[in-house]
Amino acid sequence: MGASHARAYHHLPEFEIAGVVSRGPASRGKLAAELGGAVEFDNFEKALAETKPDAVCISTYPDTHAGYAIRAMEAGAHVFVEKPLALTVEEAQNVVETARRLDRKLVVGYILRQHPAWTKFIDIAQTLGKPLVMRMNLNQQSRGDEWRVPKNLMDSMSPIVDCGVHYVDVMCQMTRAKPVRVHAIGARLSEELKPGMYNYGQLQVVFEDGSVGWYEAGWGPMMSEEAFFVKDVVGPAGCVSIVAGKENGAGSADIGAHTKTNRLKLHHGELDTDGRFVKEDEYIDTSDEPDHDGLCEREQIFFRDAILRGLDLGDHMDDAVNSLRIVLAADESFRTGQVVSL
């Protein structure tokens, strides 16, 4: 993610890259060369002190997000930080309060909010009536380096927390209703994980308007490539689905395939007096959607506009805390075996 965001800054004329920070000299040097010889650092505090940047992009593992974001804002910088915003709700609220107190722009990397096909998916879901039934998953069969990164992520949090914030955020946009309770199940399928961590989970969330949603995520070499990509929403008037997955020609661990949609399928549920469907299913082509780097660039355009045009990010920041609250409640539910009321 850091490399994709760096390429976006490199392409946008309003940004100038002051430095690249990473503990890994090989990957850092390769990226710096790609960016035309960017200055390299292996220490965040040193980079802040020497470059005095106007903006900082944080694409580290989740356990450092909150601390780096606060230090950057206290140094005078606006911040783009990858999701999830923090490891706890309290930490996330502290980051948001720091942004408000120092009048700094804080953008959280909810990439699907900048995805034209996903925004269309949300818009159509809002026409289906209430309550909504929202079904989503993203399982990843992985090996080698594809498995190393998720294992490192699971030093901080489970898949339903790390990835779940994206899809719970989508559910909240679809329903525009208050979440009221959460339940989750999970399983530890690998002994390579730290004690107490699990690499498969499913959460269920109930909203105040009667809408319900589930999200499933599993990471590891044991995961199935069948039905790893499910994204559909059902309402009284019909349903809408993202038609993707294996049609992309990529495996479940391919990050580029995670945001690719290909097309949307809209099913109308209305029947005539003979019990036949009044309308045929519609397919909405989305094959001209941006690729992964293109979506990262759209995120940085939003960050740029927030800074230069003074966009109000109050709802954006509150939504980031809200979706984190829900998935952390799901993690609590898994560990306690109890339904968590919000």
The domain boundary, picked from 76, 92, 109, lies at 109
Mark whether 29 and 158 lie in a shared domain: no
* Mean pLDDT, residues 315-337 taken together: 98
CATH code of residue 17: 3.40.50.720
Same domain as 140, residue 89: no
Residues 98 and 128 in one domain: no
129 and 85 in one domain?
Answer: no
Domain ranges, residue 333? 116-289+323-341
pLDDT tens, 157-200? 999 999 999 999 999 999 999 999 999 999 999 999 999 999 99
Q: What pTM was computed for the model?
A: 0.92
Residue 311 lies in a domain: no
Same domain, 183 and 263: yes
60 part of a folded domain? yes
- The answer to the question of residue 238 being in a domain is yes
Assess whether pLDDT exceeds 80 at residue 255: no
Is residue 178 assigned to a domain?
yes
Q: Are residues 58 and 134 part of one domain? A: no
In terms of domains, do 96 and 120 share one?
no
CATH number, position 149: 3.30.360.10
Tens-digit pLDDT profile for residues 128-147? 999 999 999 999 999 998 99
Q: Give yes or no: residues 147 and 79 share one domain.
A: no
Count structural domains, the chain: 2
Which residue among 109, 126, 142 closes a domain? 109
Residue 302 lies in a domain: no
Residues 336, 222 share a domain: yes
Same domain, 56 and 184: no
**Per-residue pLDDT at 145:** 86
Q: Between residues 88 and 254, which one has the greater pLDDT?
A: 88
Q: What is the band of 336 on the pLDDT scale with cuts at 50, 70, 90? A: very high
Task: Output the average pLDDT for the chain.
Answer: 94
Tell me, yes or no, whether 256 and 139 share the same domain. yes
Give the pLDDT score at 20. Answer: 95
Is 90 exceeded by the pLDDT of residue 155?
Answer: yes
Q: Is there a single domain that holds both residue 12 and residue 134?
A: no
Flag whether pLDDT at 252 surpasses 70: no
SS (H, E, C) the chain: CHHHHHHHHHHCCCCCCCCEECCCHHHHHHHHHHCCCCCEECCHHHHHHHHCCCEEEECCCHHHHHHHHHHHHHCCCEEEEECCCCCCHHHHHHHHHHHHHHCCCEEEECHHHHCHHHHHHHHHHCCCCCCCEEEEEECEECCHHHHHHHHHHCCCCCHHHHCHHHHHHHHHHHHCCCEEEEEEEEECCCCCCCCCCCCEEEEEEEECCCCEEEEEEEEECCCCCCCCEEEEEEECCEEEEEECHHHHCCCCCCHHHHCCCCEEEEEECCECCCCCECCCCEEEECCCCCCHHHHHHHHHHHHHHHHHCCCCCHHHHHHHHHHHHHHHHHHHHHHHCCCEEC
Residue at 313 is within a domain: no
pLDDT above 60 (res 27):
yes
* Residue 188 falls inside a structural domain: yes
Convert the pLDDT of each residue in 279-302 to its tens digit.
Answer: 999 999 998 899 999 999 999 999
From 109, 144, 164, the end of a domain falls on 109
Has residue 213 been placed in a domain? yes
